[in-house]
């Protein structure tokens, strides 16, 4: 069996973290995609395709020409603006790796690549495997969504390499995400001289916010949160325009669709006002039923490998695993690094978990392929 080479992994980990890849910096993303390509080519013996959408490069390895059996999903972009590295540099101390993207998710994408390199040595091929590292996940995957769905559709499994929970738990459920903008059109008038001639958009948007907030129901895993709001122009003018953003998350497809229908059907409460709801569902939920089969496999394999008991967790944030589950592909998430602090200066990954994740991914994909 090919042994895990921690020295090589850490060298590549350092290189990836020090290659900044802010989601909104095309030049840094291009450099990052080339580096991911070089590392992966060296490990896998094959060069990827680089697919670009709106200046965001996505790195795709596709082994074999037949249907996809297993799809490994990650991303190489980060939330960290270019230049962050000078104040938050790569470091390793007491088994803790720090730096922008350490946990979200440059370590995770390396785990996927190293695991597939190991599996290739064991099997001699990776036929039916796709590895996709996107460049716009932190923006909501607007350009890569179709690529993700096309690769995952019909596959036996999708494995997502976002970070695991702090105790090593994998993620078996993620809430679906929907983003809305409610726009109100009223009519301006002088607030002191003839307010009765106006149609007050502030009153209308306030009434709508109360209705929207009432949809929030944590008991069934549903959040509906009015967020940023703007209204009016001056204190002595009846407001003619108002807008409020809404972030909605739901644990099930049915609940997400129910909330979407209600928000899409909002009607004015102030005579003469017009209400326009824009936006909608961005990601369907990753429901537990889509992960439980893979989770059971992962638990069994983890125990066989002598790892700590593998636990699971459901989280509110979305990932590209929502897309793979949304096209009907069994999906398990959180197979990347174990650490914490994503999107914050406390971001870190624990070295002790890296070889465990490489071993688990190798075993999991190997078993899925062997069944065919």
Q: Are the CB atoms for 370 and 354 separated by under 8 Å?
A: no
Query: Which of 77, 204, 255, 287 is flagged as catalytic?
Result: 77
Q: Are the CB atoms for 244 and 182 separated by under 8 Å?
A: yes
What is the spatial distance between Cα 77 and Cα 154, in angstroms, rounded to a whole number?
A: 27
Cα 323–Cα 334–Cα 29 angle in degrees, nearest 5: 70
| Antiparallel, parallel or unpaired: β 170-174 and 312-315 | parallel
Report the 3 state secondary structure along the chain: CCCCCHHHHHHHHHHHHHCCCECCCHHHHHHHHHHHHHHHHHHHCCCCEEEEECCEEEEEEECCCCCCCEEEEEECCECCCCCHHHCCCCEEECCEEECCCHHHHHHHHHHHHHHHHHHHHHHCCCCCEEEEEECCHHHCCCCCHHHHHHHHCCCCEEEECCCECCCCCEEEEECEEEEEEEEEECECCECCCCHHHCECHHHHHHHHHHHHHCCCEHHHCEEEEEEEEEECCCCCECCCEEEEEEEEEECCHHHHHHHHHHHHCCCCCCCCCEEEEEEEEEECCECHHHCHHHHHHHHHHHHHCCCCCCCEEEECCCCCHHHHHHCCCCEEECCCCEEECCCCCCCEEEHHHHHHHHHHHHHHHHHHHHCC
Q: Is 77 a catalytic residue?
A: yes
Query: Which of 12, 20, 103, 137 is flagged as catalytic?
Result: 137
- The two tokens of residue 232 are 């009016």
What is the spatial distance between Cα 93 and Cα 142, in angstroms, rounded to a whole number?
A: 37
Residues classed as catalytic = 77, 137
């Amino acid at each position: 069996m090919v042994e895990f080479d921690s020295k090589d992994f850490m060298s590549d980990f350092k290189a990836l973290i020090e290659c900044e890849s802010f989601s909104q910096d095309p030049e840094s993303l291009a450099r990052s995609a080339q580096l991911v390509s070089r590392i992966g080519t060296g490990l896998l013996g094959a060069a990827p395709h680089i697919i670009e959408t709106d200046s965001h490069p996505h790195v795709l390895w596709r082994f074999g020409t037949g249907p996809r059996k297993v799809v490994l999903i990650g991303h190489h972009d980060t939330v960290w603006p270019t230049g962050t590295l000078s104040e938050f540099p790569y470091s390793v101390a007491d088994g803790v790796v720090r730096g922008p993207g350490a946990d979200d998710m440059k370590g995770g994408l390396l785990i996927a690549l190293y695991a597939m390199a190991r599996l290739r040595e064991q099997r001699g091929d990776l036929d039916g495997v796709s590895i996709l590292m996107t460049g716009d996940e932190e923006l909501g995957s607007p350009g890569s969504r179709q690529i993700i769905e096309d690769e995952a559709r019909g596959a036996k499994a999708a494995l997502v390499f976002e970070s695991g929970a702090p105790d090593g738990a994998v993620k078996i459920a993620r809430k679906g995400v929907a983003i809305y903008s409610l726009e109100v059109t009223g009519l301006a008038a002088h607030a002191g001289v003839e307010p009765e001639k106006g149609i007050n958009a502030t009153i209308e948007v306030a009434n709508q916010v109360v209705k929207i907030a009432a949809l929030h129901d944590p008991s069934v895993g549903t959040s509906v949160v009015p967020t940023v709001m703007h209204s009016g122009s001056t204190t002595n003018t009846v407001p003619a325009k108002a807008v409020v953003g809404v972030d909605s998350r739901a644990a099930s497809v049915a609940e997400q669709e129910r909330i979407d229908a209600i928000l899409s059907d909002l009607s004015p409460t102030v005579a003469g006002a017009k209400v326009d709801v824009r936006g909608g569902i961005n990601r369907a939920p990753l429901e537990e039923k889509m992960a439980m089969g893979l989770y059971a496999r992962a638990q069994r394999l983890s125990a066989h490998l002598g790892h700590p008991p593998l636990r699971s967790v459901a989280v509110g944030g979305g990932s590209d695993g929502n897309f793979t589950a949304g096209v009907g592909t069994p999906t398990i998430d959180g197979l990347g690094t174990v650490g914490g602090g994503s999107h914050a200066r406390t971001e870190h990954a624990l070295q002790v978990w890296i070889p465990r994740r490489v071993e688990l991914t190798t075993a999991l994909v190997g078993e899925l392929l062997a069944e065919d």
